Structures are given as structure tokens and as C-alpha cells.
Structure 1
Amino acid sequence: RFKELIDKIRSKSYIDKKSLDEIIKELQRILLSADVNVKVVFEISKRIKERVLNEYSQSRGVQLKDLVIKILYEELVKILGEEKRDIIIAKKPFVILFIGLEGSGKTTSVAKLAKYFAENGLRVGVFSLDIHRPAAIEQLEQLVNRIQADVEKIKFINIEGTSLNEKIRTILDILKDRDVILVDTAGRHKNEESLLKELENIYKYLTPDFTILVIDAYMGQKAYDHTLALKSRVNIDGIIVSKMDGSSKGGGAISASVASGAKILFLGVGEKVDDLEPYDPKSFVSRLLGLGDLDGLLTRVERLLKREVHDEKKLRELAKGRLTLVDVVTQFENIEKMGGLYKILSYLPGFSGKFRKEEIDEMETVIRKWKAAINSMTIEEKINPSIIKGSRITRISRGSGVDERLIKNLIKQYKIMQKLMKDRKHKRMFKEMLKSTRQL
């Protein structure tokens, strides 16, 4: 669906409030279909809209479709994590608590992370505080025993006749020589008050160094409310997204990240204990949005944005004071900043009330299309528009989405302006007009 939106964007020649609203609404539908929480969708789309309006008006040479994808990507990774992160083992033993809903994949994730740490040379201890799910402790022990790495078998202590607090104290003492200790817990629903209170008690008595929330990739929009319920009882330091295989959408991870303020650390991509991957922002967001070469796209946009400053300087040097199409774009942008043509004309003697609002709106539409066309031109074409003919006009039209007739009309108007600028009388008139508009 996102690719369909990109096709729609490519057909647009310029951004205005109406077309941007259409883009944002479609983005909202796509994110909602990816199971992102409604509140989160509106927060993200609001920021994207503000940035697109601001950055597109200032950028030249970057296509709108590329800029929208770039901004969407950047806003998503701000939430999910802008870079690969690892858990820093700051002390020994370093205690990590696992929390999440029932069936979210906590127990399997504990075993996977145990293998990950062991393969990185750490001595790992594992135990479970899940007293509510039948055979939960046995399941974790079996998973640990499958790990083909240097992990010493953990002897699980029967909870019968022993309180949770006593079990925590006893096992921590047994595992005090470990580098890291992973603690599994029972799944908890946001409406199960007794289990939430039990989690609070475990957290206070265990005093973990790090708490990981395990989120099922299939969980969907309810991830937001459940995460808030857990965060109200304990701190959340990182997220593992489980079951990121097959057709899972992963949108719940965005909701969980917003609700918890924590970033994604790992992805569970299968049922085997080896199926754990460090989080990679480009790969995850690309999958979430259904995009292919996201890395190539981002590199291209960044290169164009960096090149703009250099190109502008080079263009000014080559132009040597001549009127160029960059000057024209600058004046278009000044008009926008000063409130549009309607406001400017109302201040100019002899122009106030001369044009109907509908006529001014039509002029502004043409100006926006002209600006889009100029932004699709090469440096040489901006400096010397007289070379813009035939195939160049066709290329600019395809790149900007502006009709060829409007591009020809732009060149015609530019030539008229250029002739007027050579006339000293008109030159003074233009300078006075620009001086007046700057004071508005």
C-alpha cells in the first residue's frame, strides 16, 4: 500500500495544504493497517506534515516522494531507535528482568538472549518466577539445555513451600558468580491487578539492573495500552520484538516504544534459540513499510540535500549578477513567507482590490507549479534558461509533474522579466517593489 501512495505522490507537481492532507491521511491508513496505535499514528503524522511543509519549501533538487519517505523513516527510527544498541553489562552479576503479556514469547526470548550472551563469552544464569503457567519452569530449562554454547546448566528450585521473595534471594545467591542473570516472569494482562501487583513486588525485591519488555509482532494496536499498564508498575529499559517472521507486521513495536520510551534491542525471527537478530533501523522500517532499497534511497536524498549548498554557491559565482531562475524561486519563497500574493497586493498602491481572490489563488497555483519545475532543473538550466527546449522541457515535466505548457510559459515570463531588468527604469521599479514587500 505504501508503494501505491508513492505512485500518487509522483503524479503531484507541487505540495499545497490539500494535497499534503491527502498524503497524510493515506499514511495514517497505512500505519493503522500495520497495527500502529491510533494515538501514535496521529502524533507521527502531525510531525511528518510539519516537517514536509518546512523542508520541501527549502529544498531544491529533491523529489517530493523521496523527501516524504526520508522524513517518515526518520520519524519512525526516532521512536524505535536510531542505531543498533547493545546491553552494557556494567556490573556482575548483571540482572535482567523479562516482562510481557502471556504468550508474547518471553520464555523463548530468555533462552535466545542467554545463547547470545554465552556466545559473547559471558557466564549466564537463568531462572523463572512464572508460577502461574503449567510447566513454564520446565520449558525454560529444556530450552537452556538445547543451547549449544558454554552455558552451565541451571538447577531450578521448586517453588513449593517457598515464597517468591525467598526464591529470588536463594537463587541470586547461588548465581552470584555469573556475569549476567536472566529472569523470566509470568505473562500479565493490563486488567489483571493481582498479577500486576505481583510484578511490582518482584521488581522491588529483585532490583534488576535492566528490564526488557517482550512484544509479540502480531500483537497490534493493543500493545500501547498494555505497555502503559506495565510501565506504570516498573521501569522498561529495552524491547525485544518476538515472532518477526512470516507475515507479521510489527506495528505494535512502534506503539510499545512510544508508550514505554524504550528502544528496540533485538528481533526474534524464528522459533529456534539461534533466531535472534540485533535491531537494525533501516532493515526493520523497510520491512514495516514494505520498501525495498531504503538504504539506497536515503543515501541519494542525503547526497542531494548536501549538494544543494555547494550548487547554490557555484551557481551564484557563474551567474555573476545576472537574473537566474534561482532568483525567481527566491522571490516565490519570499511571497509565501510574507503571506502570499493577496496580502502583498493589498499593500501595493494601485493593486489593492484590482484582482478577485479566485484570480489570486489561480496565480499562486501557477507559481507553485513553476517552483516545482525549477526545482527539477539542472544548475546549467537555472543559470541559462534559454537552453531549455524540446527534450529538456519533457524531462523537467516528467520530473516535476508540471505540464509542458506551463514550463514553456515560465521560460516566456522569465525572458520578459530579464528584458525589464535591463531597463534602468524598470530595474528601479523592481527594487522599490521588493523593498516594499520586505517591509510588510
Structure 2
Amino acid sequence: MFDNLTERLSSTLKNISGRGRLTEDNIKDTLREVRMALLEADVALPVVRDFVKRVKERAVGTEVSKSLTPGQEFIKIVQAELEAVMGDTNEALDLASQPPAVILMAGLQGAGKTTSVGKLGKLLKERNKKKVLVVSADVYRPAAIKQLETLASDIGIDFFPSSPDQKPVVIAQAAIEHGKRKFYDVVIVDTAGRLHVDEAMMDEIKAVHKIANPVETLFVVDAMTGQDAANTAKAFNEALPLTGVILTKVDGDARGGAALSVRHITGKPIKFLGVGEKTDALEPFHPDRVASRILGMGDVLSLIEDLERNVDKEKAEQLAKKFKEKKGFDLEDFRGQLQQMKNMGGMMGMMDKLPGMSQLPGNIKDQVDDKIFVQMEAIINSMTSKERERPELIKGSRKKRIAAGSGTQVQDVNRLLKQFTQMQKMMKKMQKGGMKNMMRNMKGMMPGGGMFPGR
């Protein structure tokens, strides 16, 4: 996420971090670099101009805190201004209304609106403990209604049926009435993708908005369209009273122009980021955490939240008990660790939130391929329970059977067993309390250091 911007800003700010004092002269070059980095990231020009001006005003002649060097103080100012341009704090959904609270979703075609409806429904159900109903008022796109119905079924939220021969206003009204009768907390209305220049379609969504009277009107927009995302949101906001923005496909956006432009241009907060294809890949937008990630400082708070949400506490306690009783770490435990990692968005999802990851050489990042974890899990799944408990049993003919059963090669099975042996050794060191030894051995587990031999 925003890799190009992170790389450029990190190297630029590193050059000033050792300066003795901040003056207009010695920050001039750095500010020029920051300006170029933001423009290359497709941040809107008015946003760049205002951002650079504010950083300069705060930096020149600034009182430096005793605990910071002038260079560190400058980085702190850049971070604070990044947060300010994106909205200072997370703005949660305002659901404090007479139930059901109605959320209306608007946006262009192909922005990921219907998927975002499902993700948001799942988030409200699981994290906010809300009873959620979703409905599709998209009567134009073939199979749009069926898509939402399938999605709702997959994630376990209720779907209100509609059909393409109905009017969107009628669909929305019927769903909300049903929501009132059945005591739903939230009704999410999905609408058809439309362009702000299409008057007939804009009139239609205004009519839906009037009848639905939503507490939240969210504009769903593709982050990869850069500053155009902010300009489109602004045009929509002039026709429809938006309350916030959902930025989708952020995981594929190496630039970050949309995230840094939306608030300044529209005056509306980004409320959520779509960070992947999975139904739980929707994150509340925290400007301070995103600013930290942009500057290569990671996002440890979000990582901790991911751990708390996704780690199976029962399995973790079982593993801890095994450790206490000095029982060995077997392939069943290894599979459990792989599954937990997958639930947290894979290795890349975790690495993105760790501090300093922007400094990793590109060749090491390229070796971290989450597909290898899928392959590893498939290999373990093809073993018998006895083989998982006692990996030393896995010899020639067993390896061939496991490879055939998992659709892999014998060398893939050998690679997995080698990786497992390394993990087992590390776990033994942890049991003995040799944390220093374990940390030394961690180097061998990292990409490029032996965890992914031959890749």
C-alpha cells in the first residue's frame, strides 16, 4: 500500500534527520523532494501546495523538543500534516438513530460498491454486533442483485429480495419497511453505478436518498484512480449530501494520491479502506496510522487489533500449554500457525504494518509470496494425522504420495519439511528460554535467509 510514496518520502526525510538546526535554506531541498514525491503519487496540486506551505511555516524556526533532534522534529511535523490533510482522527459511522439506521452506497461502475456492501455488513455484524439487512437497488447491471444475494449468504447476513423490473425507490422503501418490522439495526442499500454527468441517473439516486433518509451516504471509489477519485467524489457531493468515502483497492495502490486528496477536496472524511478481495478486507480509516505507514513507521496498532480479532485464542492456549509441558511442536501446530497467518491477510498483509519494512531490499520483498503458504498448507493436509505428529516417518514413498495428493512435487515436500525443522528448532530454543538464541535463529527464518530456500 502506497509503496512508491513511502519509499520516496523515507529516503528524502532520512537526508534531513541528522541536521543540527532547521533553517529555510537547509529544508528547501527536502521540501522540493517532498513536493515532487506527492505530485508523483498523483496527489492533487492544491493539496500539495497547501501541505508544503504548512510544513514550511511550522518547520522554519521551530522550537525543538529536548527529546528530538531538529531532523526528527521535521519528520514529526510532516507526519502531523499528513494526518491533518487526511482528517486528524478516525470518523466512525454515525448509527445513533431510530433503528434501522440506513446506509446508502453510491459510486461509479466498477469501483467495488457491491463487494463493499458485503464487507461493511460483515464488519457491522461481527465488530459492532448489529443485525444487518442488505438490499440491491441496482436494476441495470446484469446479475447485480444475484451477486449481492450470494455475497450476503456467504458472510451470513440477511438479504432483502428485489428484481430488475422494480423501481429503485420502491425497492429501497420496501427494504426499510421490512427492516422496521423485523427490528434490524442497520439496512444497507446498494445502488447502481452512475456518472455524475448523467442527470437522469443522478435524479434517480436523489429520489432514493429522499425516500431512504439515510444516516450515512457513502461514496465508494477506486483508490487507483488517484486524484480523480477526489474530484469525482466532489462532483457527487454537489448532487448528493455525502457523509463519507470508502476507498477501495488500496492494496493495489502504490501511489496514495486518492487517500491524500479526498478530504481536502471534498471536505468529507474517508471512513474505510478496502485492502483486499476477502470479505473481511475492510479497515476503518485512521489518518494517524496511515500517515505512519506512509512514512515507513508501520502500523503496530492495527497489527495488534488484527491479532486480537483473528488469532484463535483456544488454539493459542493449547500451544502455550504444550510449551509449558515441554511437548514437541509438530506439523499440526505448524498448520495452525499458517492458518492464523492467512486469517491476518498473509505475510504481506502483516509485513505492510511492521515498522521499517519499506527499507527491505526489493529482492527480499519479491520472495515473500503468500501462495507458498497455501501450498504448504495443502501439503500438510495431504498427510495422515500420524505423519503430522511424527514427521520423521515421512520417507520416500510417503513423500511421493503426499506430493501427488497435494498437487506438488517431491522437492516441495522436502522444502516444507526443511522449513518445519527450522521452526521446530526455534520453538525448542523458546522452550529453553533462550530468547537471544531464538532471535539469532529468526534471521534464518526470514525471506532470503533460509525460510524460502530455492525461491
* TM-score normalised by structure 2 residue count: 0.59
Look up the match of 1:253: 259
Matched residue SS, 1:188: coil
Q: CA deviation at 1:102?
A: 1.8
2:173 counterpart of 1:166: no
Look up the match of 2:162: 157
Partners of 1:63 and 1:185 in 2: CA distance: 52
Look up the match of 1:196: 202
Partners of 2:82 and 2:45 in 1: CA distance: 15
Matched residue SS, 2:224: coil
Among 50, 55, 61, the residue aligned to 2:57: 50
Look up the match of 1:428: none
Q: Note the alpha carbon deviations across 1:174-233, whole angstroms, 9 max, x for none.
A: 222211000111223343333333322222232211111223221212122111101101
Matching residue's letter, 1:134: P
In structure 2, the CA distance between the partners of 1:39 and 1:190, relative to structure 1 (3 Å rule), is: farther
In structure 2, the CA distance between the partners of 1:145 and 1:61, relative to structure 1 (3 Å rule), is: closer
Q: CA deviation at 1:11?
A: 5.7
Partners of 1:294 and 1:72 in 2: CA distance: 19
Matched residue SS, 2:171: helix
In structure 2, the CA distance between the partners of 1:174 and 1:282, relative to structure 1 (3 Å rule), is: same
Q: CA deviation at 1:246?
A: 4.3
Among 102, 114, 118, the residue aligned to 1:107: 114
Matching residue's letter, 1:132: Y
Among 138, 141, 144, the residue aligned to 1:133: 141
Q: Note the alpha carbon deviations across 1:379-408, whole angstroms, 9 max, x for none.
A: xxxxxxxxxxxxxxxxxxxxxxxxxxxxxx
Partners of 1:178 and 1:136 in 2: CA distance: 23
In structure 2, the CA distance between the partners of 1:280 and 1:164, relative to structure 1 (3 Å rule), is: closer
Partners of 1:127 and 1:248 in 2: CA distance: 33
Matched residue SS, 1:186: coil
| Structure 1, unaligned runs of 5 or more | 296-440
Look up the match of 2:241: 235
Partners of 2:296 and 2:191 in 1: CA distance: 34
Structure with more relative contact order (C-alpha pairs < 8 Å, separation 6 or more): 1
Which has the higher Rg, Structure 1 or Structure 2?
A: 1
On the 8 A contact 1:125/1:178 being kept in 2, the answer is yes
Q: CA deviation at 1:247?
A: 4.9
Look up the match of 1:321: none
Matching residue's letter, 1:71: I
Partners of 1:79 and 1:11 in 2: CA distance: 26
Q: Note the alpha carbon deviations across 1:111-163, whole angstroms, 9 max, x for none.
A: 0111111223211111122223222121111111110x4x33x2322141x33
2:286 counterpart of 1:284: no
Matched residue SS, 1:183: strand
Look up the match of 1:95: 102
On the 8 A contact 1:286/1:294 being kept in 2, the answer is no
On the 8 A contact 2:86/2:269 being kept in 1, the answer is yes
Look up the match of 2:314: none
Partners of 2:51 and 2:268 in 1: CA distance: 17
In structure 2, the CA distance between the partners of 1:266 and 1:224, relative to structure 1 (3 Å rule), is: closer
On the 8 A contact 1:34/1:288 being kept in 2, the answer is no
Matched residue SS, 1:175: helix
Look up the match of 1:2: 9
Among 17, 26, 39, the residue aligned to 1:32: 39
Number of positions where the alignment pairs a residue of Structure 1 with one of Structure 2: 290
Matched residue SS, 1:182: strand
After TM superposition, the structure 1 = structure 2 runs for residues 13-412 of structure 1, keeping only pairs within 5 Å, are 13-54=20-61, 56-57=62-63, 59=65, 62-91=68-97, 92-119=99-126, 120-147=128-155, 149=156, 151-152=157-158, 154-160=159-165, 162-176=166-180, 177-292=183-298
| Identical-residue share of aligned pairs (%) | 36
Matching residue's letter, 1:216: D
On the 8 A contact 2:18/2:71 being kept in 1, the answer is no
On the 8 A contact 2:94/2:216 being kept in 1, the answer is no
| Structure 2, unaligned runs of 5 or more | 1-7, 302-455
In structure 2, the CA distance between the partners of 1:218 and 1:123, relative to structure 1 (3 Å rule), is: same
Matching residue's letter, 2:200: S
In structure 2, the CA distance between the partners of 1:194 and 1:49, relative to structure 1 (3 Å rule), is: farther
In structure 2, the CA distance between the partners of 1:244 and 1:166, relative to structure 1 (3 Å rule), is: same
In structure 2, the CA distance between the partners of 1:173 and 1:201, relative to structure 1 (3 Å rule), is: same
In structure 2, the CA distance between the partners of 1:139 and 1:293, relative to structure 1 (3 Å rule), is: closer
Q: CA deviation at 1:60?
A: 5.2
Partners of 1:107 and 1:21 in 2: CA distance: 46
Matching residue's letter, 1:171: A
In structure 2, the CA distance between the partners of 1:199 and 1:43, relative to structure 1 (3 Å rule), is: farther
Matching residue's letter, 1:138: K
Q: CA deviation at 1:293?
A: 7.8
On the 8 A contact 1:31/1:41 being kept in 2, the answer is yes
On the 8 A contact 2:17/2:72 being kept in 1, the answer is no
Q: Note the alpha carbon deviations across 1:264-293, whole angstroms, 9 max, x for none.
A: 322222111121222233431233344448
Q: Note the alpha carbon deviations across 1:70-121, whole angstroms, 9 max, x for none.
A: 1122122223233344323212010011122221111111101111112232
On the 8 A contact 2:90/2:287 being kept in 1, the answer is yes
Look up the match of 2:433: none
Which aligned segments of 4 or more residues in structure 1 are displaced greater than 6 angstroms? none
